[in-house]
Amino acid sequence: MSVSRRHVLQAGVATGVIAATGSSWLGAAAANAPILRRIPSSGEMLPVIGTGTNAFGVSAPADLEQIRGVLREQHTLGGTVIDTARGYGTSEVVIGELLKELGNRDKYFLATKTPMGGDLSSGAAVLEESFKRMQVSKLDLLQIHNFNGLNELMPHFVEFKKAGKIRYIGCSTSVDAQYQQMLDAMHAHKLDFIQVDYSIGNRSANEKILPMARDMGIAVLINVPFGGRGRTLFPRVAGKPLPDFAKDIGAASWAQFFLKYIIANPVVTAAIPGSTTVEFLRDNQAAGRGVVPDAAMVKRMEEYWDALPA
C-alpha cells in the first residue's frame, strides 16, 4: 500500500465506529453485522470486503509479522475472501505457510489465479502448482489471470471442479483494454466469477462488464478499488477532510468512502483492497458494515469526486 494512503489514513480515523440507530442491543448488533452478498451460481453468501494480496510476497520479518496479523485477524472482523495469484511473487507460499501455522484455513474463502506467462502445455500440472504452494487440497476459486491460456486451461478447470478440487471457476483482469476479452469469456464459458477493476475514479467496468455479469448471474470481485495503473485515488484527497455527508454512510476514512462507493453497486459480490497491515485491514473491513449508499448517495459521491482537482 502506498505512503499516500498511510498519510491519509493517519490524518483521519483509522477504524471508524458506525453508530447503531436502534436503541436495543439486537438492533445495534444487526446494524454492525457484516454486509453479505450472494454468489449467483450457488446462493452462498460472502462478506463484501475481502483482501487482495499482491504485496504479500515478502521476506522481511517485520512485514511477515504484519501479514501474519492480517491473516490472524481478518475472519474475526467478518472478512473471509483472500485473493492472490501465481504472479504475486511468493504470495501464495506466504499465505499457505501462515494459514497452516495459524490453523484457520477453514475460516477463509481462498482465491488464486493461474500464471500470466510461461509454458502452459501441461495444464493440469499448472493448476496443481497453486495447491502445492498454498498447501491445500481444495481451492474456493481459481481464476484465469488476464486471459493467459484461457482456452488451453479451461478444460482442466472444468475437470478440477468436477473432481471437487475447485469450488468456483473465474477469469480476471485489471486492464480496461481487456474488457472485450472478458465479455467474450463470459459468453464462451460457464463462469461462476469474474474479477475486474472498478473504483470511483475508474467506472468503465459499469458500462458493459458489470451489467452483463448481473444478467448472466456471475459473481464479481473488484480489484484495485483504490485505483491503479496511474489512477491511485489517495493522492487526490491527501490533506482533505471527508465531506460532511460521509457520516451518513458511516465512512470514517477515505478508504471506507471509496469502498462504500464500490459496494453500493449491487452487482459487486466483494471488493478486495490490499491490506498489508492490521491497521489497513481494520480500516477496510469497517467499510463492510452498516450503511450501503443508495442511488442518490452514489450520485452525490460521484459529483463530489468529479469536482475535486485532478
CATH of the domain at 234: 3.20.20.100
84 belongs to a structural domain: yes
212 in a domain, yes or no? yes
**Is 2 domain-assigned?**
no
Q: Sheet containing 51-52: which strands, arranged edge to edge?
A: 51-52, 81-83, 109-113, 139-145, 166-172, 193-197, 219-223, 270-271
Number of domains in the chain: 1
Q: Which domain holds residue 209?
A: 38-307
**Cβ-contact 120, 144 below 8 angstroms:** no
Tell me the pTM: 0.91
Does 153 fall in a domain? Answer: yes
Q: 31-84 pLDDT, tens per residue?
A: 689 999 999 999 999 999 999 999 898 767 778 999 999 999 999 999 999 999
Residue 282 lies in a domain: yes
In a domain, 53, yes or no: yes
Question: Is residue 17 included in any domain, yes or no?
Answer: no
Distance CA 247, CA 92 (A): 37
271 part of a folded domain: yes
- Map grid coordinates 469469456 to a residue: 185
Q: Identify whether the C-beta of residue 148 lies closer than 8 Å to the C-beta of residue 114.
A: yes
pLDDT band at 290 (very low <50, low <70, confident <90, very high): very high
Per-residue model confidence (pLDDT) at position 144 = 97
Per-residue confidence (pLDDT) for residue 61, from 0 to 100: 79
Confidence at 8, pLDDT banded by 50, 70, 90: low
Taking each helix axis as running N to C, give the angle between helix 254-263 and helix 295-307, from 0 to 180 degrees, rounded to the nearest 10. Answer: 130
